[in-house]
Amino acid sequence: MTRVQISQEARGLWGERIHAVVPEAEFVGRDAETGWMPEAITRDDRGFVCTGEAAARSGRWPMDRDPYLLETTVPGIFACGDVRSSPVKRVAAAVGEGSMAIAFVHQYLAHAGSAPAG
Ligand SMILES: Cc1cc2nc3c(=O)[nH]c(=O)nc-3n(C[C@H](O)[C@H](O)[C@H](O)COP(=O)(O)OP(=O)(O)OC[C@H]3O[C@@H](n4cnc5c(N)ncnc54)[C@H](O)[C@@H]3O)c2cc1C
């Protein structure tokens, strides 16, 4: 787009004005603002929080058991929605993961007491 044509007909003023514009695209929400998180919560190279399989693969998962799907590299800390390292960035996914996280918290608490490995 290189120009915008504005018609003033709606205001009862006949005539048109043409404005030149500079093409611009802005990407909102491309990166995660997670720099404030403790180092122990592993993030990928764009700052998104590693959970589940990604947490297990990171080499920083401290337990003998596998992490739950939404569990970060800190056992008992869960992440869901856009901040999670995942290709799916959608409202429905964020809402669904939020409800799943509660179930994982219950599971975690039910099994609390397992000691960290090593
Ligand atoms: C331009 C754009 C268009 C989109 N269009 C669609 C669409 O059409 N359909 C669709 O399904 N999805 C769409 N999405 C994606 C959708 O918005 C997200 O997937 C969804 O909002 C993720 O929800 P969330 O709760 O994980 O994160 P968010 O909705 O981003 O909520 C995170 C909240 O946490 C707050 N926050 C961040 N850091 C901190 C902090 N340190 N302390 C306290 N609060 C903090 C933020 O201010 C924000 O309110 C779009 C996204 C963008 C950017």
Q: Which residue has the higher pLDDT, 31 or 109?
A: 109
CATH number at residue 43: 3.50.50.60
Q: Is 44 in the pocket of ligand 1 (CB under 6 A)?
A: no
Residue 9 lies in a domain: no
Output the pLDDT for position 118: 46
- 8 part of a folded domain: no
Q: Is residue 15 part of a domain?
A: no
The CA–CA distances, whole Å, from 17 to 5, 23, 66 equal 6, 18, 63
* Residue 114 vs residue 49, higher pLDDT: 49
Strand spans (E) along the chain? 3-7, 16-20
How high is the mean pLDDT of the chain?
86
**Does 1 fall in a domain?**
no
* Cα distance between residue 38 and residue 41, in whole Å: 6
Domain that holds residue 99: 29-118
Q: Residues 31, 47: contact at Cβ < 8 Å?
A: yes
Provide the token pair at 47. Answer: 């700052």
- Atom 24 (ligand 1): residue with closest C-alpha? 81
Nearest to 104 by CA among 82, 76, 85, 81: 76
Tell me the pLDDT tens digit for each residue of 58-116.
Answer: 999 999 999 999 999 999 999 999 999 999 999 999 999 999 999 999 999 998 865 55
Instruction: Give the span between the Cα atoms of 70 and 77, in whole angstroms.
Output: 9
Specify the number of domains making up the chain: 1
In a domain, 10, yes or no: no
| Ligand 1: centre distance to CA 8 (Å) | 37
Task: Compute the distance from residue 82 Cα to the ligand 1 centre, in Å.
Answer: 6
24 found inside a domain: no
Residue 107, both tokens: 């599971």
Helices and strands in the chain, H and E counts: 2, 2
Confidence of residue 30 (pLDDT cuts 50, 70, 90): confident
Instruction: Please indicate, yes or no, if residue 20 is contained in any of the structural domains.
Output: no
81 Cβ inside 6 Å of ligand 1: yes
Q: How far apart are CA 41 and CA 22, in angstroms?
A: 41
